Amino acid sequence: MPAVVRGGRRQGATKGRGQGSRNAPATPGKVAAIGRLDLSPRAVLISIVAGVVVLGGVLATGARAERISNSVSNKFDSVTSGMGLKVKQVHVTGASPEAKAAIQQAVGVSADQPIVSLDLNAVRDRVQAVGWVKEARVVRLLPDTLIVDVKEHDRLAVWQTAGHAYVIDSGGKVIPGADAGRYPKLPLVVGKGADQTASEILPLLAQRPRLMARIEALVRVDERRWDLRLKDGSLIQLPAVDQDSALIRLDALDQRERLLDLGFARVDLRTPEEVAVRPSEGAV
């Protein structure tokens, strides 16, 4: 009996200790540590000061970081140049003889310049800034060749206004740097607004080579209509609208009467369905 009592006590004690261990809250070490963090005003102030010091250090080394980056870039250029990857040839394609010199200057690439790190977008932007150039494409051909392909503005006509002459494209845009004196074969359009409307009348005249060959200048009148001045001093007055129909009437008269060969002082086509002709002096 005493042995039983002693064994029961031991079992009860053991059971009590096991239950106490199982019922105790399990607090991980990290969570407990967070719970013990010092969040006093003094600790917060120290943290802020430390952050400012670190930020100041980063800002202070900004120039140094830039120098390090430049050093690495220079080293890279040196290595690639040593491998033969440097500019030896620059080919400009699509450029007219008049524009080529300005385009080559705008490329701005020197011989033996590292080709791998060359900024192609910057080269393209410089070339497209040249007045002749409508758009450009720059291609790098390793190991040593740069291709610059350009598309120039088309030359539609020479525009004369306020005593000055300019070369314009089909959109009426003046082409900077273009010498009008070098384009004697381009049609001459004269007057305010002639630059913006030349692209409408010139295709109609191009369909009539007999007439086009005799035209000295196209004069814009009141920004509404055209007068065609011929090389022999004759004048053809076109209407403000439906110019194609007026030119068809002129074609018919020329075919029937050989008007352009015989000569005239003026042909007035401004009235629909009517042609008024004033003969030149001495004309039959």
Write phi, then psi, for 217 (nearest 5 degrees): -160, 155
Q: How far is CA 87 from CA 92, 106, 140, 210, 211, in A?
A: 14, 16, 9, 53, 53
Q: Which residues of the chain have pLDDT under 70?
A: 1-82, 84, 282-284
Dist. CA 202–CA 218, nearest whole Å:
9
* 272 preceded by a cis bond (ω within 30 of 0): no
- What does the pLDDT read at residue 252? 93
- What does the pLDDT read at residue 82? 61
Dist. CA 188–CA 160, nearest whole Å:
7
pLDDT, tens digit, 9 for 90 and up, residues 219-276: 999 999 999 999 999 999 999 999 999 999 999 999 999 999 988 999 999 999 889 9
- Geometric angle at alpha carbon 38, from 37 and 42, rounded to 5°: 155
- What does the pLDDT read at residue 135? 96
- What does the pLDDT read at residue 280? 82
pLDDT, tens digit, 9 for 90 and up, residues 132-150: 999 999 999 999 999 999 9
